[in-house]
């Protein structure tokens, strides 16, 4: 009798543990907001390129927010929040929705981490910020534009085959020359 009871209990524990494994394709995006002006505001999960398409929303409560969902393939979206409805300088943060635990921080700095593609996205965004922080004193505007286009193209090539590379092309293609756009499209395998 003891063996049967032990076996039943063991089977119950194993089955209970199986119920707590993440669902296939499920993501859990948790965020911390340190800017008190954003408390009670709505944060949107929207299309990273088209902006007007909103996929989900939630309210910042006690400096936190959560999005849960399921994806069949990684997708780049954007977190979007405004201090006021007429705020012309909202906080935006690209995020890759992929299976796993994703963590975002919004405040003096914005950050997303926790999954491989989000780490890749942050490294790329940090590289873009570093480029913008360079000293371009004495450079002509065309030289700066050409250098930035070349840098963006390098990042697209580096991240080809990843949603990050496709996002960079869509978000920054207007910063690329026609030749750079053609090279990026060829690298990404798009028309």
CA distance 150 to 171: 15
- Sorted by where each begins, the domain ranges of the chain are 22-114, 134-191
CA distance 102 to 86: 29
Residues sharing a CB contact under 8 Å with residue 42, sequence separation 6 or more, in sequence order: 57, 58, 59, 60, 81
In 3-state terms, what secondary structure has residue 29? strand
134-179 pLDDT per residue, tens: 999 999 999 999 999 999 999 999 999 999 999 999 999 999 999 9
CA distance 131 to 103: 25
39-91 pLDDT per residue, tens: 999 999 999 998 889 999 999 999 999 999 999 999 999 999 999 988 899 99
Q: Are strands 100-106 and 26-33 parallel, antiparallel or unpaired?
A: parallel
In 3-state terms, what secondary structure has residue 65? strand
**CATH for the stretch 22-114:** 2.60.40.1120
Residues forming a β-bridge with 75: 97
Report the pLDDT averaged over residues 5-9.
49
């Amino acid at each position: 009798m003891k063996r049967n009871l032990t076996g039943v209990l063991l089977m119950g524990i194993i089955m209970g543990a199986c119920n707590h494994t993440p669902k296939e394709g499920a993501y859990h995006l948790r965020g911390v907001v340190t800017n008190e002006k954003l408390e009670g505001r709505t944060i949107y999960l929207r299309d990273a390129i088209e902006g007007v398409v909103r996929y989900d929303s939630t309210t910042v409560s006690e400096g936190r927010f959560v999005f849960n969902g399921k994806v069949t393939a990684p997708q780049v979206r954007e977190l979007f929040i405004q201090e006021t409805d007429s705020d012309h300088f909202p906080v935006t943060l690209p995020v890759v929705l992929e299976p796993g635990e994703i963590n975002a921080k919004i405040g003096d700095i914005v950050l997303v981490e926790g999954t491989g593609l989000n780490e890749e996205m942050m490294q790329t965004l940090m590289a873009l910020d570093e480029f913008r922080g360079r000293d371009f004193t004495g450079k002509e505007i065309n030289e700066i534009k050409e250098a930035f286009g070349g840098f963006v193209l390098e990042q697209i090539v580096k991240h080809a085959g990843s949603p990050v590379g496709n996002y960079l092309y869509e978000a920054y293609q207007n910063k690329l020359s026609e030749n750079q756009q053609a090279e990026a499209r060829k690298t990404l395998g798009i028309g």
